[in-house]
Amino acid sequence: MLDPIVEVRDLEAGIVQVTMQDRVNKNTFTDGLIGGLTAAFADIGARQDCKVVILTGYDSYFSSGGTQEGLRDLFEGKMKFTDKDLYSLALNCPIPVIAAMQGHGIGGGFVMGMFADFVILARESIYTANFMKYGFTPGMGSTFILPQKLGISLAGEMMLTASTYRGEELHKRGVPFPVVARDKVLEQALELARTLAEKPRFSLVTLKDHLVFPLRKQLAAFIEDEIAMHALTFHQPEVKQRIEAFFGK
């Protein structure tokens, strides 16, 4: 049997691990990955025995973001990134989410991880908000969550330049997350999850709801602004050329 694209596994009492493992597509946002993640978080949110989620990828990939086909659809106006909401899954999950980003986080894949309550990066892996590489402005709440999590200066640099950064470089730049060797990311995530799982679920849910309330409240306005910027920047002929020429490089 083939492994599921998204595997949900109970590790210990109260601790659930969600693993993205679409090896064929390197964890890009295919319909299969989107559907699997959406269903997984819906199920976990409804379970009363879950206290913390570890979200991770496989081998050297966390998530590679949008597919080339998806970017073409956005260019042609067939869809908006809000049609398939991955960015707020972790934010809206009632229990704490740890993004164990052991592998590369690219574009929307990187942003998705930043919406988690806790983030752990790998020294060897690449992280990038590379939307402008293709000539269009960032989406998925990037312009909101990246300054919140990384600081205005680094977030602005990442988005404007579309540069790639190794985890080790981000560590030197002072990101407020643990950055460890790739083979230690899940180990550290589990240690943190155990600390969280010691607490009553109701208390975890109550405190998370309080802590992320300002983020949930402010996000909608940024999403509207990003959609408006997409309407201005996405339909340039140069963007289509860049999607065809640069995707995956």
Report pLDDT for 71.
83
Q: Which of 107, 139, 130 is nearest to 234 (CA)?
A: 139
Tell me: pLDDT of 94 over 90.
Answer: yes
Tell me: pLDDT of 100 over 80.
Answer: yes
Provide mean pLDDT across the span 123-140: 95
* Band of pLDDT at residue 87, cut at 50, 70 and 90: confident
3-state class (DSSP) for residue 19 = strand
Q: How many CB atoms lie within 10 A of CB 72?
A: 15
Which amino acid is located at 105 in the chain? G
Catalytic residue positions, numbered = 230
Report pLDDT for 208.
98
* Band of pLDDT at residue 68, cut at 50, 70 and 90: confident
* Band of pLDDT at residue 85, cut at 50, 70 and 90: confident
Question: What would the pLDDT profile of 184-193 be if each residue is shown by its tens digit?
Answer: 999 999 999 9
Strand ranges, E, within the chain? 6-12, 15-20, 52-56, 61-63, 97-101, 104-106, 118-122, 126-128, 164-166, 179-180
Higher pLDDT, 248 or 197: 197
3-state class (DSSP) for residue 155 = helix
Whole-number average pLDDT of the chain:
94
Report pLDDT for 1.
59
CA distance 12 to 5: 22
3-state class (DSSP) for residue 166 = strand
Higher pLDDT, 19 or 68: 19
Task: Indicate the pTM of the whole model.
Answer: 0.95
Q: Residues 104, 62: contact at Cβ < 8 Å?
A: yes
Q: Give the list of residues 6+ apart from residue 207 with CB closer than 8 angstroms, or none.
A: none
Tell me: pLDDT of 248 over 90.
Answer: no
Report pLDDT for 111.
97
Domains of the chain: 6-181 (3.90.226.10)
Q: Residues 212, 97: contact at Cβ < 8 Å?
A: no
CA distance 228 to 224: 6
Task: Supply 124's token pair.
Answer: 């060897």
* Band of pLDDT at residue 86, cut at 50, 70 and 90: confident
Report pLDDT for 243.
86
What angle, rounded to 10 degrees, do the helices at 201-233 and 142-150 form? 130
